[in-house]
A and B are shown apart, each in its own frame.
Chain A
Amino acid sequence: MSTHHHHHEDFLFKYIFSTDHKMISKQFLITGFTMGFIGLVMSTLFRLQLGWPGESFEMVELLMGSWQENGIMAPDKYLALVTMHGTIMVFFLLTAGLSGTFSNLLIPLQIGARDMASGFLNMLSYWFFFLSSVLMLISLFVEGGAASAGWTIYPPLSALPQAIPGSGAGMTLWLFSMAIFIVSSLLGSLNYIVTIFNMRTKGMSMTRLPLTIWAFLFTAIIGVLSFPVLLSAALLLVMDRMFGTSFYLSDIYIGGQVLDHAGGSPILFEHLFWFLGHPEVYIVLLPALGITSEIISTMARKPIFGYRAMIGSMMAIGFLSFIVWGHHMFVTGMNPFLGAVFTFTTLLIAIPSAVKVFNYITTLWKGNIVYSPATLFSVGLVSTFITGGVTGLVLGNSALDINVHDTYFVVGHFHIVMGLSAIFGMFAGVYHWFPKLFGRMMNNKLGNLHFWTTIASAYGVFFPMHFLGLAGVPRRYYTNSEFPLFDNMVDINEFVSTFAVIALVAQLIFMFNFIYSAFRGPRAPQNPWKGTTLEWTTPVEHIHGNWYGEIPAVYRWPYDYSKVDENGEFLYGDDYIMQTTPMGENENDGGH
């Protein structure tokens, strides 16, 4: 036990400028969830407007004060909220919050390392993230309001304050915040990759890594390759905005005058943006898939089915994600031949995705499934991954995309396949590894309630959007009431908005459970879920360096659940064998 004299300094370095991966993980988690909650409240606010356009809401006025006149949202504030919601959810909650939390927590613990390759870079990564979060939130309060050009910030809309007030100071802050965010993300990714390749304990070969680690590895690699390109796209936009260059701008008449810009093309921005933007989808999704692979196997008391196929499909998805970005641009007037190529590569992604789904289902088959909240959310993820994934076949096909592009069909699709799947994976991870994060257990009953209310309200919100889309309702409309064509959509919109409010309330259950359990929950045992991986061999209390004494060596892959001998009895007397248990003499190692 430590006997430090400087308690003040101790506090500072333990909780604030910690270089310990477990503390940094908690910092990412709490910052990410805070941002996520803000993003969620924003979505509820604009759903109120969409469900009951023009209606006055006292709650809205209470929350947004002078932003609202008489509780009614103004059109430009609506667009600001939509933009900030998208940015916060995609980047701050589901990129930094998800990957930052679990890569930091699990990489050293599961591969058997005392900490990350560079604790200092890791700390910097968090503080850059924190700074960018603060800047992003500050941008809500500047003159002209927050960025309002959609989270994809297509120029010229994002470049010209004359086009929308949010493209003034709000967009400047958005760009600075994102630049810092990208640095944070790169520092994190560097660390994850190097740690996984260089700091595995004795016996931890690549084919003995848990699938979580594989997922974090691919995520980090995708991040290192794609985020710098977003940075270059943002840089050119900054130049156009501040220094009068014309990378993206040309032939523009706005606010009664012709601008000087000539020769640029907004399409260039779209190419650069989506070169990151599409891989970003998998940066968000892969960690969730890794987490649930691990949880489903542990809780079904069965090895994950097709370990190598799972890795192979993640690799295929990661690779393909770099050659499909054009499917976001089918209606930009791109060369039809290019469109055909992107259709082909895009639809190919369905194959590895299908393999993953079938492997999940087969893992459940003939399992012995223990139902913790983490199990529920993992099964929920498979459901959302299917529900949202299949509609990708409509959108990825250029011939079909032309009429559903930028409609609510798209909104339904990506919220289910990317948003819900990723957040379900994140919830599953929090419930499962809460004992590793806080040394206490969360309440299962509240967790179960949280799951059922969340999945019911989530499908209540996003499923009907497909019908809106097939009816031709465009996204990012402040209200549909200007078109007689959409008059019969009113009740669908009310339906969606009602469930959006319920979904918000459901998250309060989680928030309560989380805060209560972190401080007052029952003390966790060392290995509550009877998992085989190394993190369950560490002491419950957090110690610098993770293990007392030597780091344990590893002798087998992480999925030796319910392994039996020729008489049908469990090997070593239990339905799980720790990775640290040496191979028996006649035991089949399954090629690991």
Chain B
Amino acid sequence: MTSIAMENMDYKQEVKNKTSKPLLWIGIVSIVMFFGGLTSAVIVSQGGGGFINIALPDAFLVSTIVIVLSSIAFHLGLLATKKGKQQQAKMAVLATMVLGLTFVFTQYLGWSDLVARGYYLSGTSQESSYLYLLTILHVLHLIGGLVSLSIVLVKTFKKRYTPQNYLGVEVSITYWHFLGGLWIYLFFFLMYITA
């Protein structure tokens, strides 16, 4: 087997530059369809009656604020990287990480609140099953975001990103913003459904 331009690092980089973001975007489309399917299921189930109007845990509101803040922090980090202000970038990405973990924790508080009020994943009502399912699935997707964020964090601390080369940050931030948007959608959706 002969290798031509494939072994050429420039070529590989070029392909990466051209295709990383489109790959992510189409991946996001499929995640949107996944949650779209689930939330339509909620609406169909609600039509069948049997929803008991569970008040959303307050923790979920805190989560919403936390995730918005984390997106802002990450965005500041990207701007700093673009301008080559590495110290600022480090602080911003670190803050994003902390806020991301806080989000997971506040979600956990939300679930504890539900349990304390006697609503479980199964056996209570479909409504509470959906509440758990949608929020847990969102966190599972968020863990993917945290993994990508930690790579960005390490690389930022190792000063791998320059004002010319920050594709990794852009890919990671796109997904992170998407997760934020997804949560806001889910939050309002759940508020509407449980009202």
Contacts and interface: CB of A to CB of B under 8 A. Distances in A.
Interface of A: 1-2, 14, 114-115, 117-118, 121, 186, 189-191, 193-195, 197-199, 224-229, 231-233, 235-236, 239, 243-247, 260, 262-265, 267-268, 271-272, 275, 542-545, 547-549
21 contacts: A114-B5, A186-B27, A194-B23, A194-B26, A199-B18, A199-B19, A225-B29, A227-B30, A236-B41, A244-B122, A245-B122, A245-B129, A247-B41, A263-B45, A263-B50, A268-B44, A268-B48, A271-B40, A542-B1, A544-B4, A544-B6
Interface stretch (B31-39, B94-102, B161-169, B183-191): B31-39
A239 B1 contact: no
B105 interface: no
B169 to A, nearest CB: 19
A263 B48 CA distance: 7
Nearest to A197: B22
B45 A268 contact: yes
Contacts of B11: 114
A239 B122 contact: yes
Interface string B114-136: 00000001110110010001000
Contacts of A231: 34, 37
Given A245-B126, A265-B48, A268-B48, 9 more contacts: A117-B22, A118-B19, A190-B27, A194-B23, A224-B33, A226-B33, A231-B34, A231-B37, A545-B4
Contacts of A121: 23
B13 interface: no
B15 interface: yes
A544 B2 contact: yes
Contact of A224 (B6, B29, B123, B126): B29
Given A543-B1, A549-B4, A245 B121 contact: yes
Given A14-B1, A117-B15, A263-B50, A232 B27 contact: no
Contacts of B19: 117-118, 194-195, 198-199
Contacts of A236: 38, 41, 133
Given A118-B23, A199-B15, A245-B129, A2 B122 contact: no
A544 B26 contact: no
A540 B44 CA distance: 55
A343 B6 CA distance: 51
Nearest to A194: B22
Contacts of A233: 37, 41
Closest 5 pairs (CB-CB, A-B): A229-B37, A228-B34, A232-B37, A263-B50, A117-B19
Contacts of A1: 2
Contact of A190 (B23, B37, B41, B129): B23
B26 A224 contact: yes
Instruction: Output the residue of B11, B19, B27 with the most chain A CB within 10 A.
Output: B19
Contact of B45 (A226, A260, A264, A542): A264
Nearest to A551: B5
Contacts of A186: 27, 30
A262 B44 CA distance: 15
A229 B34 contact: yes
B33 A229 contact: yes
A117 B48 CA distance: 45
Contacts of B22: 117, 193-194, 197-198
Contact of B122 (A193, A195, A243): A243
Contacts of B34: 228-229, 231-232
A247 B129 CA distance: 8
A11 to B, nearest CB: 11
B37 A246 contact: no
Interface string B57-99: 0000000000000000000000000000000000000000000
Contacts of B50: 262-263
B122 A263 contact: no
B33 A225 contact: yes
